[in-house]
Amino acid sequence: MSNASKSSLFRSLHTPDRPLALANAWDVASARVIEAAGATAIATTSAGVAWSLGAPDGDRVPRGPVLDAIARIASAVTVPVTADIEGGYGQSPAEVAETVTRVLEAGVVGINIEDGTRSPGTLVDRLAASRGAAQRAGVDLFVNARIDTYLFGLGDPATRLQDTLERARSYIDAGADGIFVPGVTDPGVIRDLAAGLTVPLNIMAGPGTVPVDELGALGVARVSLGSSVAQAAYAVARHAALELHRVGGYDHLRQTIDYPELNSLFTATR
């Protein structure tokens, strides 16, 4: 499938009628497992990628190794890939544009870029730079702008919904194709967010969140698991190691993917 076809397909997957469900990957193995499970697209998790590289999450990992990891993931799967690039891995809009250019060269058709605790104006500039880089490359890039007001508890709780929607409108004007609001689980707030947006809404889900189809009924077009899949995988490693070293047992290894099945995901040339 050409990159243009992947871009078109990826855009079409954003619909509340059947929300795009993304179990975020952090390396080639996790991406291939997720794709083999029936995923229609692959999203990366910046936290998972950082941890796999031996670095903490939060714009503290070198850009080069991250982009190399993203490129390996994109080349290993056949479905569209969207990459989490945190704040853009750069101190200026020009550096963010360079990041996006390199991501596009890897065959990625979507990015996730966040405001975090930065001023909204900073992300506006970075979104404009990202859109400009995509236009110069001739790629119909899906730019997902992450708003961290709920995740980090920013601002006044009484006005947080309105503040979030105001940020969203400025990000859309700057070139965002979708809005990602992690940290929200209340169905009423989710419904209000979706109703206040003119672009697809992305929610981060996990235990305690209503099922994907119910999120779609609330207006959500995209559902992500974020870093939680990587966290769960590392939890298995910890539990297995604790059991081995404390009691000499192996029960935490009962639920695995059979060796031949997992190995077969890497035998074909992608």
Q: Compute φ and ψ for 110, nearest 5 degrees.
A: -150, 150
Q: Are 182 and 150 in contact (CB under 8 A)?
A: yes
pLDDT in tens, 139-166: 999 999 999 999 999 999 999 999 999 9
pLDDT in tens, 70-105: 999 999 999 999 999 999 999 999 999 999 999 999
Q: At a CB cut-off of 8 Å and minimum separation 6, what does 101 contact?
A: 133, 136, 137
Quick one: pLDDT at residue 185? 93
Q: What is the pTM of this model?
A: 0.93
pLDDT band at 2 (very low <50, low <70, confident <90, very high): confident
| Span 43-57, average pLDDT | 96
Distance CA 213, CA 231 (A): 24
Q: Is the pLDDT of residue 222 over 50?
A: yes
Q: Measure the CA angle with vertex 173, ends 166 and 8; round to 5°.
A: 120
Q: Are 41 and 147 in contact (CB under 8 A)?
A: no
Domain 3-226: which CATH number of 3.40.50.1100, 1.20.120.1200, 3.40.640.10, 3.20.20.60: 3.20.20.60
